[in-house]
Amino acid sequence: MSTPIDTEAEREKLESTLLVDTVRITRPTGTPQLDLSTGLLGSVPAESVYEGPGAVLSGHGQVTAQHVLGREWLDDTVSWYRLLTPISAPVPVRYDRVEVVAAAGEHAATANRVWQVLDPSEASTVEIVRVTRLDEITPP
């Protein structure tokens, strides 16, 4: 007989060990305006959806997390990046933008990088953390 998982204990462990960065999720609310003097488009108007604890993990980061937690808990995906947020955070939707506004690690390479949500967050009957697939937005 298997031992039931203490989801609350697992959630606390995951949040305290991995969700140590501050992430911001914004939602586009319109289209950028053309600056007639420069001929360039301005920024996309957006509203803030969430700013708080989270993490952006690459495929390599997911392997590292497996070692920290002592087991595999994310499967492979076609998306190279995943956003992790607490279950209490709002559910990101397709085309939301994600940024890491404060990284806990001194060697984090997330500065000035922006990701776009590919799909609504993954769902399951037992959730420990919210997992959302991302695609990095490459600047022009």
Listed by start position, the domains of the chain span 7-137
Measured CA distances, 93 to 21, 27, 41, 120, 133 (Å): 21, 8, 24, 5, 10
Classify 43 as helix, strand or coil. Answer: coil
pLDDT on residue 2: 67
pTM: 0.77
Q: Which CATH superfamily is domain 7-137 in?
A: Bacteriophage SPP1 head-tail adaptor protein (2.40.10.270)
Is 122 within 8 Å of 131 (Cβ atoms)?
yes
pLDDT for res 65: 57
Q: Pick from 115, 134, 126: which is nearest to 73 by CA?
A: 126
Averaged over successive runs of 10 residues, the pLDDT of the chain (140 residues) comes to 79 90 95 89 91 86 56 54 93 94 84 87 81 83
Give CA–CA dist 5/86, Å, rounded: 18
Q: What is the pLDDT of residue 126?
A: 78
